[in-house]
Amino acid sequence: MPQKENRQFLQGNVVAAHAALAAGATHFYGYPITPSSEILETWVNLVGDPAKPNKSPVTKEPLQYLQCEDEMTSGFAMIGSCLAGKKAFTTTAGPGNILMQDAFSAAEALRIPTVALIMQRGGLSTSTVIYSQEEVTLTCLGGNGEGFRVVYSPHNIQELYDYTIKAFNTAWKYRYPTFVLGDGYQGKMHGEVNLHTMDPKSYVKPKPILLSNKGKNKKSVNLRNCYDQEEEIYEIIEKYRKDFARDSKKIAESESLFLDDAESVIISHGIVSTAAKEAVGRLRKHGQKIGFWRPITLRPIDLPGLLKAVKGKKEIIYIESALGQLSRLINDELMSSNDNRVRNVRIKTMFKPALGISPRDITDFISKNVS
C-alpha cells in the first residue's frame, strides 16, 4: 500500500520522536542527556497538555510521558508499561546508557519488548557529548546476559525514522529488547526526511504480558527472574539461544555495494558508512576495486550476507569511530562460521575513536594502505 509522503526538514532527534509516534508508541519515560534530549522534548510537545493529552494517530490512546529522576527509574518505568501492554520507549546516551543496563538486562532476561533510542557519545566516562561509535559493545552485549537483543544502526536521518518504526514492530513481534543506535551527529544534524505513515500491515499490536488473554478466563502470568539452580538458568539460556538463532534469520539486515569484482571490502556502520559509501564511489571512478558492506543490525549480524561479502576478497578494511568495537563483532561471527574461505583474508583498520570520519579521510587512507 503506497504511504502518503510528508517531507520535512528536521533535526534527527525530532525525527526519532515522530517515528515513535508513527510506530504507535504511547508512553515515554526518560531523563534528559545530551545528545539525545530533544527526543524527550519533542515527545513532550507531541503529548501537549498533560491534563488533556493528544492521542496516538495509530491506537487513538492518550499519549503519556514521565521525566524521571534518573535513568534507572526511566528504564524500569518503561518495563512496567510494556508489561501492561503499552508500546513504551526511552532514550539515552553515554553514562545514561550504562545506568540503564540494569533495566535492559532485566528486559533481556524476561523477554520484554522494550525500545530504546541510543544517541552515542564518546568515552572516556562522561567525556565528549558530540559524537562517537563507542557504545556498540555496551548496547549489544551490556549487562549480565548473553546479548539476546536487537540493535539497528541507521546511517542517515531517513533510516533513523524508518528503523525506529521497525524497532517497535520487531520488539513486540519477537519479544526482545530492541535498540536504535544513533549518535550525536545523527541526533543533532538537520536534513530532509519523509515522515510517512506506517503500513498498517506491518503494525504489531501490543498485548499485556502479565495477563493472559486466552479464553474468557484471564489469568495472571508470573515472570520469574530469580533462580537458585544453575541447571535452570542453563535451560533458559539454551532456549533463548535457539530462539535467537531462529529469529535472527528473519531480523538480520545488511547492505552491500560493488562486491562482484571487488578485491577489498570496506566494512563500517552508522553514519561512518555514509562517508564510506561516498568514498567507495570515488575510489571506483579511479579504478580501485573496492566493495562495501555494512551491518544494519549489529545484533544479530547478517552472517550469510557477511560471508558473501568477504569470500574471495584479499582484505577487509574496518572503518569506525571506535577502537574496533564493530570489528570485534564481525570477526567473532567470521571465526564462528568455520568457513575456511574467510580465514586468510587480511585485515586493515582505520580506527578514529570519538572523531568524525569524512569521505576524504577514507580515500586518503585507502590510497596509502591498499595496493
What band does 337 get if pLDDT is binned at 50, 70 and 90? confident
Q: Are 361 and 281 in contact (CB under 8 A)?
A: no
Residue range 185-213: mean pLDDT, rounded: 90
Residue 158 to residue 142: CA distance in whole angstroms: 27
For the chain, give the percent of residues with pLDDT over 70. 97
Give tens-digit pLDDT for 319-335: 999 999 999 999 999 98
Give tens-digit pLDDT for 138-148: 999 998 899 99
Strands 219-220 and 211-212: antiparallel
What band does 194 get if pLDDT is binned at 50, 70 and 90? very high
Q: Enter the DSSP assignment of 354.
A: T
The structural domains of the chain, ordered by start, are 7-212 (3.40.50.970), 255-369 (3.40.50.920)
* Residue 29 three-state SS: strand
Residue 309 reports pLDDT greater than 50:
yes
Q: Are 46 and 54 in contact (CB under 8 A)?
A: yes
Residue 286 to residue 27: CA distance in whole angstroms: 51
Cell numbers describing residue 93:
546516551
The pLDDT, as a whole number, for residue 216 is 64
Q: Are 54 and 48 in contact (CB under 8 A)?
A: yes
* Total residue length of the chain: 371
Give tens-digit pLDDT for 14-59: 999 999 999 999 999 999 999 999 999 999 999 999 999 999 999 9
The pLDDT, as a whole number, for residue 1 is 43
The pLDDT, as a whole number, for residue 17 is 98
Strands 290-295 and 254-257: antiparallel
What is the pTM for the complete model shown? Answer: 0.95
